[in-house]
Each structure stands twice: as structure tokens, then as C-alpha cells.
Amino acid sequence: MTDLVATARSLFAPGKGILAADESVHTATERLAAHNITTSAEMRRQYRDLFIGTIGIEQYLSGVILFSETLLEKGNDKKLFSASLTKRGIMTGVKVDLGTEPFPASQHELITQGLLDLPERIAKYKKQGAVFTKWRTVFCIDGGTLPSAQAIHENAKRLASYAKDSQTAGLVPILESEVLFKGKHSRTRARTVIEETLQTLFSVLDEHAVDRASIILKTSMALSGDANEKKDLPEEVAEDTLAALLKSVPRQIAGIVFLSGGQTPDQATDNLSAICQLSKKDGGTTPWPISFSFARALQEEALSSWKGKEENISVARAAFLARLAKVSAVLI
């Protein structure tokens, strides 16, 4: 087993998952504003410290994905965030894409940017302590027309190029392919789009000779859109999500982690629980380990308690730990 494969597999230690704490400046500003917190660079550092500085997270987390800015910052304990994670046995990852822009060939769709100077940036992040990376592509469902085959293919090509650069530099790539929850679409339509996007992705990865064994896939669950009146049962979500993944994802990859995608913390936890239960049915129906890599579903309750105030830190951290415990429990 190569070091890269060993690192990728160790992110799936029993009962552990990955915290996505890699919101860009723009997204972090939005998240904090939603809780009436005015952003500044120092407020963003305190926001990161709220989560990374929580004592005991190593019981539930194998990795944390950081935004590049955070790699250079220190927690309230005056230690670099990455060093304090490493000390607790938690691996540091970094988001390496530079966000999305409208896709020139189809203006209502998004394409992820950031390939230009990627090898240089990855080398720099490695020196700063990162052992894994993440690149996010995003697809919006619009009726039967979007996402277009062109957008699916171009995003897959960029994911493949990123994965190759990350592997070449010796960092495990997490390939995030998000099918947005926003919209009126049915769960069946979401399932089909997950299948189409992942089937294209894995065929393009093979063309680029990306090593399957050291990649981690980060995916959405198959859900009815948030504007669809149908409320999915966790068992329905589990059935469609696993059916899509079993049809589209090769058995050799290191594992699959789920994003929360705007679900409430309870909804994401209950759906992940049903997915894990179904995956273990009859002695195990899935060839890859499964875990979580949530941002919002892990952070939301803590942010509501925190409100940017020092006196609320301990209550907020208790809420974060309680959610981590619930999410971790469904994996075992």
C-alpha cells in the first residue's frame, strides 16, 4: 500500500469523519452574517478557533478541511491551527479550488476554477502542513435540461486534472461533486443526476490515469429539492443514494464522504444513519467505507449559540461536540 492510500484510508478510522471548515472569505462572511456576526479577518479566525479549539474533537474527527487563509493562522492557544490538529492526531486538509464562475458554454451553470497555478499552490500548502486537498464542483438541477452534458464533462475534466496534481504532490485528493439540494426536482431526478455526474467523472478520471485507490469521493445524498413538497424518509434517501453510488462508483476508491448540502443537522444525521444502516445490511452491500464531511450540519447549532461572543464559547463548543457525537454514532 502506498503512503497516499494509507493516508486516504486512515481518514475513515472507525467512528470518525471530516469537518469541512474551508468556507471561502465570501461564504464565511455569509455564514457569520446569518448569525448577525460582522466579519473581519480576526472574526474569521475566532470562528475557526471556535471549532478547531474545541477539546475532544479528536474522538470524532480524522481530518479537518481548512481554507488557505486558516493554514497560516494561529488559534487562541497561539499555536498554528494545523499544528494543533496534528498534535491531536487530526489530519489537515485544504480547499484548493478557487470557487465557481459561470460556464461560458452554458451561462446558467457553474464551472470550478483554480487549475492555473495549482501545482505551485499545492506544494506551498504541503509545506504549511496539509496532507490532503479538496476541490468542489457544483451542479444545479433545472427540470430535465440541467445540468448539461458539457458542464458535467468540463467539471469532470477539471476534477481529474486537480486529482492528478494532488496525487503527484503526494496529497490525498477529495473530489467533491455536489448536486444542489435547491429546487423543485424529485428525489429520482437527483438520483439520476448523481449517477450521470459520477459516471462521467470516473470515466474521465481513468482517461487521466488518476489512481483510484487514493481518492476520496465527496458526494451529495439523493434528496427531493428543498422547494419540492415531498419530504423524503431517511430510508428512501438511503435507498436512492446507495443505488446511485453502487451503479457509478468503482469499488477501488478509498472511500465516500457525504456533504450536508443545506439539510438541517438532524436531517443530515438521520439520512446518514439510514445510509450507513443500509450499507451494512446483509453483511455489507457497499465496497467502500462511508463517512461524513459536513460543514453546515456540524457548525450550525454552535454558531447559533456563539453569536460571536466570548461568553458563549463554551456553550457553543458543547453544542458542536454534541452534534459530532450524534453524527459519529451513526457510523458505528
- Whole-Å CA distances, 176 to 198, 206, 282, 293: 10, 17, 29, 10
Has 176 been annotated as catalytic? yes
Shortest gap between Cβ of 67 and ligand 13P (angstroms)? 10
Which residue lies nearer to ligand 13P by CB, 105 or 185? 185
Backbone angles phi, psi at 43, to 5 degrees: -65, -35
List contacts with ligand 13P (CB under 6 A).
Answer: 20, 136, 176, 259-261, 294-297
- Please tell me the number of Cα atoms within 13 Å of 140 on its side-chain side: 12
Contact between 261 and 221 under an 8 Å Cβ cutoff? The reply is: yes
Active site residue 218: yes
In the chain, the amino acid numbered 60 is Y
**Residue 119 near residue 168 (C-beta atoms within 8 A):** yes
- Name the catalytic one among 23, 73, 176, 195: 176
| Least separation in angstroms between CB 283 and ligand 13P | 30
Find the shortest distance in angstroms from Cβ 181 to ligand 13P. 8
Closer residue to ligand 13P in complex, CB, 20/32: 20
User: Among the options 95, 134, 164, 218, which is catalytic?
Assistant: 218
| C-beta of 274 vs 297, nearer to ligand 13P | 297
- Name the minimum Å distance from CB 297 to ligand 13P: 6
Kindly state the smallest distance separating residue 327's Cβ from ligand 13P, in Å.
Answer: 11
Q: What torsion, rounded to 10 degrees, do the Cα atoms 27, 31, 32, 38 define? A: 50
Looking at beta carbons only, is 271 or 286 nearer to ligand 13P?
Answer: 271
Closer to ligand 13P at the Cβ: 31 or 164?
A: 31
Which residues carry out catalysis?
A: 176, 218
